[in-house]
Amino acid sequence: MGQAHDYVKVAFDLIDDLDRLTAVDSVMSRVSTTLADFGYTSFLITGVPEPPQRLEPYILLNGWPKGWTKHYTRSNYYADDPVAAWCRRTVNPFEWSQAPFDAARWPRAAEVMAVAREFGLNKGFLVPIVRSTGFQACVTMAGERPDYEPRAKQALHLVSMYAHARCAALMGCALLSGRECDVLAWAAEGKSSWEIATILGLSERTVNWHVEQSKKKLDAVTRTQAVIKALRSGEI
């Protein structure tokens, strides 16, 4: 990256462009170009659900190496990814190497990081994003020799927040799964779990499970509160 005074300019140039972009592919390309200026060759914009939920349904933009995405998914690495685990516990941006874990007690975490390096994801930086619902998301990026200079990190923090917001706006960024939306939509109509189960062809137990998942994602204490939050956020 050039001189330190360029960091702010790079960030605001991207922000100006994001406001004008109306296609997700254009956002993908523009973000990739900007992150490359900081030494990052790969990135991911995604929600960060609590395991055992899987990561794939929450991915907004996937700029990882295709081989890594396939291997990560097949191996169910998300459940043991120490970077993702730390993201769910902090609101502060951090270098991947700062994600704490004990390799002896958590060997799968060490495996995730070792295999990531085999795919060229040697060094990384992650910016947590907390949505209005309280649900955690992030912009995470990696490269061979990224720029870790403090002002570069500050600029990337700003870039990440705007990139996530623009991507979410263009994609209608649904926090809930399709089935969770269906269940809450019928709950909003005053239907009981038994009635919703009959309508959707599910078991009552499955309906209640979807309600509980929705409550967690929306940070709601009751079913009624989950419905209200889903309506206010445009999820249903």
Alpha carbons 236 and 231: distance in angstroms, whole number: 5
Name the amino acid, one letter, at 126.
L
Question: How far apart are alpha carbons 55 and 51 in whole angstroms?
Answer: 8
Q: What are the extents of the domains in the chain? A: 6-171, 178-232
- Whether residue 181 has pLDDT greater than 50: yes
Class of domain 6-171: alpha beta
Spatial distance between the Cα atoms of 40 and 124, rounded to a whole number of angstroms: 8
Alpha-carbon separation of residue 211 from 10, 18, 82, 230 (angstroms): 43, 35, 28, 12
CATH topology of domain 178-232: Arc Repressor Mutant, subunit A (1.10.10)
Interval 64-77 mean pLDDT: 94
Question: To 5 degrees, how large is the angle CA 215–CA 100–CA 58?
Answer: 35
Q: What is the pLDDT of residues 134-168, one digit of tens each?
A: 668 999 999 999 999 999 999 999 999 999 988 88
Is the predicted pLDDT of residue 47 greater than 90, yes or no?
Answer: no
pTM score: 0.74
pLDDT in tens, 86-114: 999 999 999 999 999 999 999 999 999 99
